[in-house]
Amino acid sequence: MRILLVEDDSILADALSRALVQSAHAVDVVETGEEADRALAADIYDLAILDIGLPGLSGLDVLRRLRARRSRVPVLMLTAMDTLRDRVQGLDLGADDYLTKPFDLPELEARVRALLRRGSTSATPYLRHGRLSFDTVGRRVFHDKTPVELSARELAVLELLLMREGRVVSKEHIVNHLYGWDEEVGANAIEVYVHRIRKKVEPLGCEIRTVRGMGYLVERVDDAE
């Protein structure tokens, strides 16, 4: 998933970015409210992690502008101000969740997973396709109870396809959700990942179809039958 991290504390931003990238998320990092506003207006994100106390345009101002554009991207607010008024204001402006500094990294990671699940309409941490299950918390794939070994990037591609089961997912969509601004994308990178995933999951009953000129599709199990 692609995440925008807006944090002016460079040490904290670097630590959070590294942790999210290790979970196979693509992360873009900006330090000011103005940069965040431009990024959210120009690019598509699965989640924004937005600090309130930013130089210039505040996090609340960024959130207000985001919702004024009718964007529904989930927003996790970070703040050093633990007052009821601040939390209420952020939630009233359209924030989806709130986390007060200092916080433990596992809690932030859990809240990120919950918001991403909410955005995908999945109520549980598991994505299921026939006898295949994807544990989005443990970042593991199982066929019945047998683990299926996939790299972090392969996991991310398969997760996108399973989250949009029954719908075509374009290569551009995959690139936009898997790669940040500073990452170079090879011309055939997505084809390579899909080829590797197919070799591992298609013998287990999860077929990935290529829809020429459009992208890739994992059909719903009922539709396939």
pLDDT, tens digit, 9 for 90 and up, residues 84-128:
777 788 888 999 999 988 899 999 999 998 888 776 555 567 889
In a domain, 87, yes or no: yes
Q: 114: part of which helix (H) or strand (E)?
A: helix 105-119
Beta strands in the chain (DSSP E): 2-6, 26-30, 47-51, 75-79, 97-100, 126-129, 132-135, 140-143, 146-148, 209-211, 215-217
Are both 97 and 27 inside the same structural domain? yes
Of 120, 141, 202, 225, nearest to 210 by C-alpha is 202
Tens of pLDDT, residues 17-68: 999 988 878 899 999 999 999 999 988 898 999 999 898 899 999 999 999 9
In a domain, 224, yes or no: no
Distance between CA atoms of 135 and 130, rounded to whole angstroms?
Answer: 14
Rounded-to-10 torsion of CA 107, 109, 111, 112: 160
Which residue among 119, 139, 167 closes a domain?
119
- The greatest distance separating any two alpha carbons of the chain, rounded to the nearest whole angstrom, comes to 56
Are both 108 and 136 inside the same structural domain? no
Residue 214: CATH number of its domain: 1.10.10.10
Tokens 């607010």 -> residue: 77
In a domain, 60, yes or no: yes
Domain range for 149 is 126-218
Are both 140 and 108 inside the same structural domain? no
How many folded domains does the chain comprise? 2
Residue 72: CATH number of its domain: 3.40.50.2300
Look at the pTM and tell me if it is higher than 0.85.
no
